[in-house]
A = this chain, B = another copy of it.
Amino acid sequence: MLSFDNFLQTEGMPIYLQIIRYIKQGLVAGTVQDGEELPSRRVLSALLAVNPNTIQKAYRILEEEGLVVSRSGAKSYIAADQTQIHQVRSELLEGDMRQMAGAMKQMGLTREAAHRLLDQLFCEEENT
């Protein structure tokens, strides 16, 4: 089941893109499985304190990308095979890590310092 517990808005990024991204991250992590039902627009809208239209937009785009199907009524289901998931994984990791590494390098961190920072960030989260 896809929980939106530690969903956190990224500054500046459109909300619907953040939702798409969050769901994709769940796919990659295996937190959400093929065929699983997505939270209804109404529920998710309440959960994230976001307008239903915005949820709808995210779902629609995911559907256009072939990762989600909408069936009878307003229910949406994950429809992603392993190939797609792998592709999404590359896409996300490529983006995130590259950005992170770029930021670290640009801030003048050595590789060692970068590793230390990474460790620190991972541990911090574990204690949360």
Binding site for B on A (CB under 8 A): 6, 8, 10-14, 17, 21-22, 25-26, 28-31, 89, 92-93, 95-109, 111, 114-115, 117-119, 121-122, 124-125
If A12-B13, A13-B10 touch, does A104 touch B115 (CB 8 Å cutoff)?
no
Contacts of A25 in B (CB 8 A): 103, 106-107
A93-B105 CB under 8 A given contacts A17-B12, A98-B124, A111-B122: no
- How many copies of this chain does the complex contain? 4
Cβ–Cβ < 8 Å partners of A125 in chain B: 101-102, 105
Contact B11 A107 (CB under 8 A): no
A67 to chain B, nearest CB (A): 15
Which one of A29, A30, A93 has the greatest number of beta carbons of chain B within 10 Å? A93
